Amino acid sequence: MKKHILGISFVLVATFISFMSVAKAEEFHWGFKPSRNGEPVEIGEPLESMLSKYGAIYKGNEEKKIVYLTFDNGYENGYTESILNTLREEKAPATFFLTGHYLTSATDLVKTMVKDGHIIGNHSYGHPNMARLSADEMKKEWKRFDDKLNELTGVKRTYYARPPEGIFNEEVLKVGNEVGYRHMFWSIAFKDWLKDERRGAKYAYDALMNQLHPGAIILMHTVAQDNAEAIPQFIKDAKAQGYTFGSLDDLVLEYEKISPY
- Residues noted as catalytic: 72, 221
Neighbours of 240 (CB within 10 A): 8
Identify the helix (H) or strand (E) that includes residue 246: strand 244-246
Measured CA to CA, the distance from residue 66 to residue 247 in angstroms comes to: 10
| DSSP helix/strand/coil, 148 | helix
Burial of 9 (0-12, 13-18, 19+ CB in 10 A): exposed
| DSSP helix/strand/coil, 33 | coil
Measured CA to CA, the distance from residue 10 to residue 20 in angstroms comes to: 15
In one-letter notation, the amino acid at residue 38 is G
